[in-house]
Amino acid sequence: MITNAESGTNVNEVADGIYRINTPLPPSFVPGGFSFNQYLVAGDEPLLFHTGPRKLFPLVREAVAAVMPVERLRYVGLSHFEADECGSLNEWLAAAPRAEPLCGGVAAMVSIGDVADRGPRALADGETLYLGRHAVRWLDTPHLPHAWECGFLFEEATRTLLCGDLFTQPGVGEEPLTESDILGPSEAFRRELDYFSHSRNARAHLERRAALNPATLACMHGSAWRGDGGALLLALADSLAQ
Ligand SMILES: [Fe+2]
Ligand SMILES: [Fe+2]
């Protein structure tokens, strides 16, 4: 479903009750094009994971409104503190009176507790938050792929790993959900634009995520992916070690 004809912003359900909001970016931004995705976990206590950059707020708001009333949003989550992850956090807090920022303890301490207009709900490593038909578990992943405060959410009902910048793919991500290879394209992209911190703990973090056996990887840039997520995370660990 295209929600803005001019930008091409579109919304697609990639797992039960989980919607990818995708805005394609032109080659002038990154050669070959690029994309920003947000994921809306719809239900009793709806969660928007990532806001997109501040300048995209009207487009993302329009896309959320195509699925549910914006003011029903309960949580606005983020993996780490960057513009594409949380640039419009305060715009969302203003648009949804019940919404709270949702992040890890480090993000709350170093950034969100200060910059957000309402205090965050900070989750400890391994803590689960129940959203009705969905439940999300916070997983600290400091410096993977970048930022001390980095972490991911794992949605337990659909076994969807909201994996942020992992598997960042070039191009506009026109396929909402793919089963074809995303490791090759994302690793080729990383060789051009290395956004990884190369923390020595990367393999341990990836092995811990792989043990969850995700069935869907909800990537922030490019297509979401369906398949043996555990195996793909271990393949990424191998590739990073080369
Ligand atoms: Fe990032
Ligand atoms: Fe990102």
pLDDT tens digit sequence for 58-99: 999 999 999 999 999 999 999 999 999 999 999 999 999 999
Give the burial class of 183: count Cβ atoms within 10 A of its Cβ; 0-12 exposed, 13-18 middle, 19 or more buried: middle
Q: How far apart, in whole angstroms, are the C-alpha atoms of residue 212 and residue 184?
A: 22
* 14-22: average pLDDT: 98
- Reading the block at residue 223, the tokens are 């297509």
Cα-based distances in Å from 166 to 99, 131, 163, 197: 26, 24, 6, 12
Ligand 1 centroid–CA 82 distance in Å is: 6
Q: How far apart, in whole angstroms, are the C-alpha atoms of residue 158 and residue 19?
A: 12
- The ligand minimizing its distance to the Cα of 221 is 2
**Number of alpha carbons in the 13 Å side-chain half-sphere of residue 176:** 17
**Number of alpha carbons in the 13 Å side-chain half-sphere of residue 169:** 25
- The ligand minimizing its distance to the Cα of 145 is 1
Ligand 2 centroid–CA 77 distance in Å is: 13
Ligand 2 centroid–CA 196 distance in Å is: 12
Q: How far apart, in whole angstroms, are the C-alpha atoms of residue 140 and residue 150?
A: 6
Ligand 1 centroid–CA 37 distance in Å is: 12
| pLDDT given at position 32 | 85
Match 């811990």 to its residue by tokens: 208
* 219-227: average pLDDT: 98
Percentage above 90 pLDDT, the chain: 97
Ligand 2 centroid–CA 36 distance in Å is: 7
User: Is the pLDDT reported for residue 181 higher than 90?
Assistant: yes
Q: How far apart, in whole angstroms, are the C-alpha atoms of residue 111 and residue 238?
A: 32
What is the pTM for the complete model shown? 0.98
| pLDDT given at position 201 | 96
User: Is the pLDDT reported for residue 166 higher than 90?
Assistant: yes
Query: Which residue, among 164, 121, 119, 109, has the nearest Cα to 141 in the 3D structure?
Result: 164
| pLDDT given at position 29 | 82
- The ligand minimizing its distance to the Cα of 50 is 2
User: Is the pLDDT reported for residue 207 higher than 90?
Assistant: yes
**pLDDT one-digit tens code per residue, 95-125:** 999 999 999 999 999 999 999 999 999 999 9
Ligand 2 centroid–CA 99 distance in Å is: 22
| pLDDT given at position 30 | 81
Q: For the residues of the chain, what is the DSSP string, one character each?
A: -EEETTTTEEEEEEETTEEEEEEEE-TTTSTT-EEEEEEEE-SSS-EEE----GGGHHHHHHHHHTTS-GGG--EEE-SSSSHHHHTTHHHHHHH-TT-EEEEEHHHIIIIIHHHSSS--EEEPTT-EEE-SS-EEEEEE-TTSSS-TT-EEEEETTTTEEEEETTT--SS---SSEE-S--HHHHHHHHHHS------TTHHHHHHHHHTT--SEEEESSS-EEES-HHHHHHHHHHHHH-
Ligand 2 centroid–CA 220 distance in Å is: 6
| Mean of per-residue pLDDT scores for the chain | 97
Confidence of residue 47 (pLDDT cuts 50, 70, 90): very high
End-to-end CA distance of the chain: 40
* 217-237: average pLDDT: 98
